[in-house]
Amino acid sequence: MTMKMYADRKEWPFEGTRIHVTHERDHAEDCDHVLDEKVRIQALKRKIEILGEELDEEQRAKLIEIADKCLVHRTLEGNLHIHTEVAQ
């Protein structure tokens, strides 16, 4: 949605995206900054296909940059805690 709003504002020939996301756990051995091997690390891997044959490489790069600024991305990238309560 953030990418579409940006492209619309710029009047770029953006036709949409296809996004593939995978979730991984326990890859602490790949992270130099992990001091405690018991820490469970989680990662999301994302592949973004930008649709719109008339977009140039500079526009595509800017749209990827914009994707990293969307609210959902920033929320997931932060230190997220989930608190659950039972609704009455």
Per-residue pLDDT band at 6 (split at 50, 70, 90): very high
Please tell me the pTM assigned to this model.
0.70
| DSSP-H helix ranges across 15-77 | 57-67, 71-77
The pair of structure tokens assigned to 77 is 């990238």
- CA torsion, ordered 69, 71, 73, 74, to nearest 10 deg: 80
List, for residues 52-79, the tens digit of each pLDDT value: 999 999 999 999 999 989 888 888 877 7
Regarding beta strands 42-51 and 16-25, do their DSSP bridges make them parallel or antiparallel, or are they unpaired? antiparallel
Domain coordinates in residue numbering, the chain: 2-77
Question: For 14-18, 20-24, 46-50, 64-68, which range has the lowest pLDDT when averaged over its residues?
Answer: 20-24
Identify which has the larger pLDDT, 26 or 22.
Answer: 22
pLDDT for residue 27 is more than 80 = no
